[in-house]
Homo-oligomer: A and B are copies of this chain.
Amino acid sequence: MNVDKKLPLPRMLTLGFIIIIIVGTLLLSLPIATRSGQSTNYIDAFFTATSATCITGMTVVNTAIHWSIFGKVVILALVEIGGLGFMTFAVLLFIFLRRKVDLTTSLLTQQSLNLQSAANIYSVVRLVVNFSLLIQALGTILLFADFGSRYGFWKGLGYSIFHSISAFCNAGFDLYPNSLTRFAGDPYLLLVLSGLIISGSLGFLVWKDILFFHEDRRLSLHTKLALTTYLGLIVISFVVFLATERNFGDHSQLNFFQRLVDTFFVSVTPRTAGFYIFNYNSFSDAGVLFTIVLMFIGGTPGSTAGGIKTTTVGILLIKVWSILRGKRDATFMGRRFSDDNVNRSLTLGFLVTVTLAIAALFLLMTESIPRHMGFEYIVFDVVSAFGTTGLTLGLTPNLTWIGKLIFCALMFMGRVGIFTVMYSVLTSKHPDDEFRYPEENVMIG
């Protein structure tokens, strides 16, 4: 089958996401989706569907109060589809129908899971799905141990399932009026949720390496770099937040251990879970800026996390360091990064920065900043949307309709991948580039 004759793959992926969002929007705009029985306006339904499919967790209506059980199940389904990637479900369908996966589906799944090759698509998808469901089930049980006694069996079960899925998918949707602020002093829940968030944001490639380490006896460069950056980020965040957010202890007289767990949770969530236990308006300025940086970075590629990704930042730091040391190659643990890897990282970082700056410029014109705040009010939420984190300084619930559309675009690019989206818009054909212009140098910096 000749794939080239059809739509280019990036365009098909982008289109697939759009179709899912549209279906979600229609379902959420039905009267049965709300508790009040009144239909939600299209823009808010569209925003919620985008936020769920892109597992961002930003809300313009309160999830617990506004949506009915039906609405919540739709949101949860969109989150699961967005979290595991809809191509995963396409392959599942093939498996279910006992048909052979066709080439297009195979290539799309490869692209959607960021795989190096399209071989073993079956086993990869099976691994992803089984592992995800296992962790989510485990999370549900652990959460139910608390929620069951707290809310009774059925409500407790519902809450356990909802928050387990939301945490593992780094979706950030919750069923409380102020996210998890009420659990600020609850180490058990916070640690269970942190575990789910980390499991989801490490990505299946890392998990595959870890799970089969006893067979292979080696970790890929990807896994080594991802784990190192990930661990480094958590340790640095923990230290920074301990230094900048001394007032965590003041909230309702938490003890030292509770403060440590809280700080750990706050270090983990920008990976891009989007739950919060303290309103970010109560953070120090330095803490807010640092959270912006963390959301910008996000988690591991091929995971449920957003951002420009840990590996990208890892390569950028190693490359810059090697250039400053006058070395030719960017190396890590006895391996050299390919030029293509390095170029892609640098380009991604630049492209995202420019996109976010342009979005912020427009929002500074369309939205109004409260008197006691400044640019962070816009920038925090812009980075949060693109990073699919879902944290807010207060802008999101107050967005104008233009603002809502800009945010939908940011969440979409953040989840589908800015390269994929831009390719699908820009690349009409693949020029051969057989002819190359002569090279000439330019002064830099």
- Chain A residues with CB under 8 Å of chain B are 114, 116, 203, 205, 220-222, 225-226, 244, 284-286, 288-290, 293, 300-302, 308-309, 311-312, 315-316, 319-320, 323-329, 331, 334-351, 353-354, 357, 360-361, 364-365, 369, 371-379, 417-419, 422-423, 426-427, 430-431, 433, 436-445
Contacts and interface: CB of A to CB of B under 8 A. Distances in A.
Contacts of A323: 343, 347
Given A327-B431, A336-B437, A427-B324, A315 B372 contact: no
Given A325-B427, A430-B326, A440 B335 contact: yes
A114 to B, nearest CB: 5
Contacts of A373: 374
A418 B445 contact: yes
Contacts of A442: 221-222, 225-226, 311, 315, 337, 341
A417 B324 CA distance: 13
Given A221-B441, A349-B350, A353-B353, 14 more contacts: A220-B440, A222-B443, A285-B375, A290-B361, A309-B443, A323-B347, A324-B427, A329-B437, A336-B436, A337-B439, A338-B439, A339-B339, A345-B445, A346-B349
A317 to B, nearest CB: 8
Contact of A422 (B324, B426, B441): B324
Contact of A335 (B308, B379, B437): B437
B441 A419 contact: no
Contacts of A335: 437-440
A323 B427 CA distance: 10
A280 to B, nearest CB: 13
A320 B350 contact: yes
Contacts of A372: 371-372
What 7 pairs between A and B have smallest CB-CB spacing? A374-B374, A346-B346, A301-B443, A221-B440, A285-B364, A336-B437, A375-B376
A437 to B, nearest CB: 4
Nearest to A315: B442
Nearest to A373: B374
Contacts of A327: 431, 433
A443 B209 CA distance: 14
A163 B39 CA distance: 66
A426 B244 contact: no
Contacts of A244: 365
Nearest to A445: B348
Given A316-B350, A442-B341, A357 B293 contact: yes
A431 B324 CA distance: 12
Contacts of A365: 244, 284-286
25 contacts: A221-B442, A222-B443, A284-B364, A285-B365, A285-B369, A301-B443, A302-B443, A320-B347, A324-B426, A325-B431, A327-B431, A327-B433, A328-B433, A331-B437, A334-B437, A336-B436, A336-B437, A336-B439, A338-B440, A341-B441, A341-B444, A346-B349, A349-B350, A418-B445, A419-B445
Contacts of A222: 440-443
Nearest to A222: B442
Nearest to A316: B350
A222 to B, nearest CB: 5
Given A327-B431, A335-B437, A437-B334, A444 B348 contact: yes
Nearest to A240: B361
A289 B360 contact: yes
Contacts of A379: 375
Contacts of A351: 320, 324
Nearest to A220: B440
A246 to B, nearest CB: 12
A374 B364 contact: no
